[in-house]
Each structure stands twice: as structure tokens, then as C-alpha cells.
């Protein structure tokens, strides 16, 4: 087996993302505490997000609208405009948050870059937001291609990896999400390397079915080059 392309997820694989959402959710819960119990608020926010995903897609702007919608639901017509302004400020702070690569990301991308293997960043979410994060991360030049997609399905991986010259089984997708990165890449006939992040978004939680041949679970992104060697890359 020859590996010809390596794909990387971005949020919670190359840089922190879920932690920022989690902290913002805590700020939201504190802000709305006078109107509803904390556990209720967190649960309602997740429900609202889930309902809105189809319309808003993934990203901070959709999350901000879902926070406002949840606030309106729990506080009713008495929702103070100052609270809405605070929610908008939470969203803006998220969009402005610095993008710091996770440990070992820079070194690992540099090491893989010395091999003759194109790297492709494949990220799901809001186009403008994701483009700005890629630019601010300082990692853009490490990638032969950057793909911002609205969903990660097996077809997404077949299309992107195919265009970069990888036939069946010749590409590896590295990411923190079993649902979005690992399983659809394996279903597309390629490899899925799971590098878990400390927190997983409620909508992305899933188990890996036992006995998947093209699956590897790595403790750190640092282990990617050796795992590529093991399956016969480069
Ligand atoms: Mg991710």
C-alpha cells in the first residue's frame, strides 16, 4: 500500500476549538442564570443548535444565533437588550480568539512536508471564519490544498483525495472526530487516523466499530509519521 495524500482536520486537530465553545457556553449559562437553571440552559442550547444545524451549518455565527434564540425562549419578551448585546459580544470574542497550533502540530507538519506527500487541510464550517483561522494559525503554507466544506461525507473525501491523485486506500485522514474525519474517510476506502481531543462536541460523539482495518487511534499528532510508515507511506 502506498500513501499518496494526507488530509488533516483543523478544529481540535491542529488548533483548539471545542474548548472555546465550551467556555462561551459557560459564559452564556452564567448570563442567563437569572432566567433558568444552568443544566436546563446548557441542554436547551444544545437542542437549539442541533435543530438549527441544517439551516445555519457549523460555525460561530450559527452558534451565536442559537444562543440568542435560546435566551429568547427561556426569558421570553422580558429578555433585556443588554443581555442580547452580551451574547453578541461572546460571539465576537470567539471570532477574534487567537489561533494557536496544538502541541507538536508545527513539527509534525514540517516532518511530513519533507516527504514527497501533499498535505490537505479539510475543515468543516463557515467559510469566512475557517479561512481566517487558517490564515491566523500560520499553517497555511504547509498545505498543498485547503478545503472548507459544509459536510464531511465519504463523497467529500473521495472527491478531494481523488483530485490530489489518491486512488482507493492511498489517502489518510487525520482528525479528532470519529463522525466527521475517521468513519467517512474509511467508508470512502481510505484510512482514518483518530487523534482524540480532550473535549468532543455533543453532535460528534460516536464509537468506532470494532475490527476496522484502516483505522488507527493515536495519542498525539506526533505519532502520524510513524503510523504512515507502518502502513507503507512515502
Ligand atoms: Mg475537528
**pLDDT at residue 204, as a whole number:** 67
Q: Which helix (H) or strand (E) holds 184?
A: helix 183-187
What share of the chain has pLDDT > 90, as a percent? 82
Dihedral pair phi/psi, residue 79, rounded to 5°: -60, 120
**pLDDT at residue 207, as a whole number:** 77
* CA 197–ligand 1 middle distance (angstroms): 8
Asked if 174 contacts 9 with a C-beta cutoff of 8 angstroms, the reply is yes
Cell numbers for 129, please give them: 471564519
Find where cell 481531543 sits: 197
* CA 11–ligand 1 middle distance (angstroms): 4
* CA 173–ligand 1 middle distance (angstroms): 11
User: Who surrounds ion ligand 1 at CB < 5 A?
Assistant: 9, 11-12, 176-177
* CA 28–ligand 1 middle distance (angstroms): 23
Q: How confident is the model at residue 210 (pLDDT cuts 50, 70, 90)?
A: confident
Asked if 214 contacts 35 with a C-beta cutoff of 8 angstroms, the reply is no
**pLDDT at residue 212, as a whole number:** 83
* CA 177–ligand 1 middle distance (angstroms): 5
User: Does residue 234 have a pLDDT over 90?
Assistant: no
Amino acid at each position: 500500500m502506498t500513501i499518496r495524500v494526507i488530509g488533516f482536520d483543523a478544529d481540535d486537530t491542529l488548533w483548539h476549538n471545542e474548548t472555546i465553545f465550551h467556555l462561551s457556553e459557560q459564559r452564556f449559562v452564567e448570563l442567563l442564570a437569572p432566567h433558568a437553571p444552568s443544566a436546563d440552559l446548557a441542554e436547551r442550547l444544545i437542542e437549539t443548535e442541533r435543530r438549527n444545524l441544517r439551516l445555519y451549518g457549523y460555525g460561530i455565527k450559527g452558534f451565536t444565533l442559537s444562543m440568542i434564540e435560546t435566551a429568547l425562549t427561556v426569558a421570553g419578551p422580558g429578555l433585556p437588550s443588554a443581555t442580547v448585546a452580551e451574547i453578541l459580544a461572546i460571539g465576537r470574542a470567539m471570532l477574534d480568539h487567537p489561533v494557536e497550533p496544538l502541541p507538536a502540530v508545527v513539527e509534525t507538519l514540517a516532518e511530513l512536508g519533507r516527504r514527497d506527500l501533499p498535505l490537505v487541510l479539510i475543515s468543516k464550517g463557515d467559510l469566512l471564519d475557517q479561512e481566517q483561522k487558517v490564515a491566523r494559525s500560520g499553517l497555511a503554507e504547509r498545505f498543498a490544498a485547503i478545503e472548507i466544506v459544509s459536510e464531511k461525507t465519504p463523497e467529500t473525501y473521495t472527491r478531494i483525495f481523488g483530485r490530489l491523485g489518491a486512488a482507493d486506500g492511498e489517502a489518510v485522514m487525520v482528525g479528532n472526530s470519529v463522525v466527521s474525519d475517521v468513519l467517512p474517510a474509511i467508508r470512502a476506502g481510505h484510512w482514518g487516523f483518530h487523534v482524540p481531543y480532550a473535549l468532543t462536541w455533543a453532535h460528534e460523539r460516536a464509537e468506532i466499530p470494532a475490527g476496522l482495518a484502516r483505522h488507527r487511534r493515536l495519542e498525539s499528532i506526533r505519532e502520524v509519521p510513524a503510523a504512515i510508515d507502518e502502513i507503507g507511506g512515502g
